[in-house]
Chains A and B, each alone.
Chain A
Amino acid sequence: MKSMMGIIYTGERDAQLRELTTNRAVAAVPIYGRYRLIDFPLSAMVSSGIRNVGVILQRNYNSLMDHLGSGREWDLHGKRNGLVMLPPFMTRDNVGVYAGFLDAVRSNLHYLRRSKERYVIVTDTHILYSAKYDDMLAAHIDKNADVTMLYTADPSMRRNGAGRYIEVDENGRVTGLEVDPTIARMPYTYMECMCVRRELLIDLVDRAVSRGQYHLTRDLLMNGIYEGTLRVYGYEYTGKAWFIDSVQAYFEASMELMDAETRRNFFDTDRPVLTKLRDEMPSRYVAGANVKNCLVADGCVIEGTVENSILFRGVHIEKGAVVKNSIIMQDGCVQKDAEIDHCILDKQAVIREETRLIGPRNYPIVVAKDLIV
């Protein structure tokens, strides 16, 4: 499907992820042993046939740039198209930080103008899901829609005081939209992913920003729906999705994805999730290691006990160490006879010998990157 391009917004929304986002964008948050959040929409775009992807960077984008590189791992390093980084930049018109998605697109209109694809898929990165954008585009064309919004009926995707909710009529047309209500009244959660014709997006953005509007959903879509100026349709996503809007949500999503059935449905072998490679050796389970229900990436050395946990690449669990219900990111180490439960160790964190760190069930302890406890 050559007629579709992608734009990924790696917005700010990072306040509640605490230490996990002090130095990185939400899109760069490591998840599920070897990925970062952006890998999921980016890989889904690639497996939907998209070959031109613009990534709007906002703040803390250093680790994201490092992760994406030239786009080679996603086959997006070509000459004719590929991965385009769109960081904020200072000019007479730009202040150096995007005021919102519309402002970001306006600053990069030149990129949209010189792209050749007829349609654009726009998505955010704080929702973990695995969509088939090609199917979504087919529905978009079928309905002759101006904008198609991806939504889910999953009740776990609702939040009090946050989120975007929609209602649709029997034809699938979106008839109402509410943004950040204290209690959502509308039945479906908008997944902050939409499909739109490229030239229409250019036109809409230009008109909105010239009227001082910077908010995609609140301003642009809201007006289009209620004034009837846009044919806005919904496209239901029926797979599993997770809102990664807090440490607790991050933790729960990770644990739920460990369930074999959930994982098999989420990871489609025909549509692999691609990520930056590290060329780690396979993981080593030493005699005496005791492992139950764990997800383990390459490069780990396991000598101790690990239960219900996720180990990222290059993690070392030393002899006598006990790890339960925890997530240990890249190159983390739990030393001899240490014990952790309900903890999230950010990259390169170390738990010293014989240290005990037990988090409460519903509020996992986050050990910041490079920290030694």
Chain B
Amino acid sequence: MPAKKRCVAMLLAGGQGSRLGILTKQMAKPAVPFGCKYRIIDFPLSNCTNSNIDVVGVLTQYRPLELNAYIASGAPWDLDLVSGGVFVLPPYHSGASGEWYKGTANAIYQNLAFIAQYNPDYVLILSGDHIYKMDYAAMINHHEKMGADATIAVRQVPWEEASRFGIMNTDENFNIVEFEEKPKNPKSNNASMGVYVFTWEKLRKYLIQDEADPTSSNDFGKNIIPAMLGDGQKMVAYSFNDYWKDVGTIESLWEANMDLLADKPEIDLHDKKFRIYARNLGMPPHHIVDGAVVENCLITEGCEIMGCVKHSILSSGVIVEDGAEVIDSVIMPGAVIRKGAVVRRAIVAENAEVTSGCVVGENEGLIAVVGPGVKMPENTQVKAGEQYAEN
């Protein structure tokens, strides 16, 4: 029996992220590359490490191969421990029964035995589709101090956007009195971030109860939270107003990447006290060749820049040949931009090859995408908002 833990984190990483189109055709959303050398899941995992949470269950379901290989032993996040660590938890068969994860709550329900091993005081529920740096320990302390049964992280969103989120209506002491999923006329602008702390015994009780209800859709937002509110459990909102971005769509993924290029980025990746860790590919430093033009970019190891790159994100091992132009774009690991190709307001996915004469994206409008591993025929054009995946 492992030693008791104060908190076990459960990271929901099973969703397909279908709004990311061809980027998530081969891999789950949390495995999508972000910001030169990271993947989306590096953020919640590193947050756990920085919050001294050393047991993390990662619930996978959709296309888990890339994610499993990436997490592996958990060493990059210091989560290869004797007393805990990171565990990939796919759905499994037990005897005659066994089924896919039916919903977020059901995914945790199916792994109650995993959590019970550590007999934790609290369980932290996370999702794998946001870019943010957050000290979960502070939130857990708040939960403990308030004597709450559940604490939900919220952030103030602009009022005009509030109807896109799950909104928490609170009293003057920040107790949650009502939860509304995507309300037409929001009463508050406190949006749920999908980060929950539960007192373990309460969570267990409500998950078992929820599973017994055949009409439930086994979802935290739709079922568990309303049920606990209905029973008058103490539910507290925890306000978090630092950088946080949902990267569930092509546009928002591109925007979050571009946010890193601001004069003073709202998310500080330089902070040595709160590092974002990632698996490293061991490539040589990048080379800016004589004649290249580099303006306002983030560039990482293994890149070779011979062309012109402006206001862009260039990931590990990217090659930009001479005469090629990359502007306002995200180039994912291993992609190659050949001589004379032009890439503007676009995402070029892993190992794609934009051959000479290709024009990807336009000066304005929606973001263009070139899919992973695609080798474009020469002189192909990809218009704003299009996704190129042929070949």
Name A residues whose Cβ lies closer than 8 Å to a Cβ of B: 32-34, 72-73, 258, 260, 263, 267, 272-275, 277, 279, 281-289, 291-299, 301, 310-312
Contacts and interface: CB of A to CB of B under 8 A. Distances in A.
Interface residues of B, number: 35
Given A279-B275, A287-B295, A32 B285 contact: yes
Given A275-B282, A282-B269, 10 more contacts: A34-B285, A263-B284, A272-B283, A273-B284, A281-B37, A285-B295, A285-B297, A292-B288, A298-B37, A312-B285
A283 B313 CA distance: 10
Contacts of A258: 287
Nearest to A291: B288
Contacts of B300: 282-283, 298
Contacts of A72: 75
Given A34-B285, A293-B290, A298-B37, A287 B296 contact: yes
Interface string B280-305: 11111111111110111111110010
B298 A260 contact: no
A279 B77 CA distance: 10
B54 to A, nearest CB: 18
B275 A289 contact: no
B286 A296 contact: yes
Contacts of B284: 32-34, 263, 267, 273, 295
Contact of A295 (B76, B286, B313): B286
B294 A295 contact: no
B331 to A, nearest CB: 12
Given A279-B277, A281-B269, A297 B75 contact: no
A284 B300 CA distance: 9
B36 interface: yes
A285 B298 CA distance: 6
B191 interface: no
Contact of B276 (A281, A287, A288, A296): A281
Contact of A282 (B36, B277, B288): B36
B287 A281 contact: no
Contact of A298 (B75, B297, B301): B301
B36 A273 contact: no
Contacts of A287: 295-296
A294 B288 contact: yes
A279 B295 CA distance: 24
A77 B126 CA distance: 32
Contacts, number: 99
Contact of B285 (A277, A293, A295, A301): A295
Nearest to B36: A282
A297 B282 CA distance: 11
Given A282-B36, A282-B299, A283-B299, A296 B277 contact: no
A296 B294 CA distance: 13
B294 A282 contact: no
Contact of B287 (A260, A275, A301): A260
Given A32-B285, A72-B75, A273-B282, A282 B298 contact: yes
Contact of A272 (B282, B290, B294): B282
A203 B283 CA distance: 41
Which of A34, A258, A281 has most B Cβ within 10 Å?
A281
Which of B75, B282, B284, B291 has most A Cβ within 10 Å?
B284
A295 B305 CA distance: 10
15 contacts: A33-B284, A34-B301, A260-B304, A281-B270, A282-B36, A282-B269, A282-B298, A283-B300, A287-B296, A289-B295, A291-B288, A293-B288, A296-B286, A296-B287, A311-B285
Nearest to B277: A279
A32 B301 CA distance: 12
Contacts of B290: 292-293
B17 interface: no
B287 A263 contact: yes
B35 to A, nearest CB: 7
B236 interface: no
Contacts of B360: none
Which of A284, A285, A286, A297 has most B Cβ within 10 Å?
A285
B278 A279 contact: yes
Nearest to B279: A277
B285 A291 contact: no
B215 to A, nearest CB: 47
A285 B299 contact: yes
Given A32-B284, A260-B289, A294-B288, A282 B295 contact: no
A118 B263 CA distance: 58
Contacts of B35: 282
Contacts of A274: 282
Given A72-B75, A279-B278, A284 B285 contact: no
A301 B299 CA distance: 11
Which of A273, A294, A301 has most B Cβ within 10 Å?
A294
Given A263-B284, A279-B275, A291 B75 contact: no
- List 3 tightest A-B contacts by C-beta distance, closest first: A33-B285, A281-B269, A282-B36
B75 to A, nearest CB: 7
A287 B262 CA distance: 10
A289 B294 contact: yes
A310 B277 CA distance: 24
Contacts of B297: 284-285
Nearest to A288: B295
A297 B301 contact: yes
A285 B275 contact: no
B301 A293 contact: no
B67 to A, nearest CB: 20
A73 B294 CA distance: 31
B292 to A, nearest CB: 8
A285 B296 contact: yes
B37 A282 contact: yes
Contacts of A311: 285
B277 A297 contact: no
Interface in B234-285: 263, 269-270, 275-278, 280-285
B296 A291 contact: no
Which of A258, A273, A277 has most B Cβ within 10 Å?
A277
Nearest to A312: B285
A258 B313 CA distance: 23
A318 to B, nearest CB: 15
A204 B279 CA distance: 44
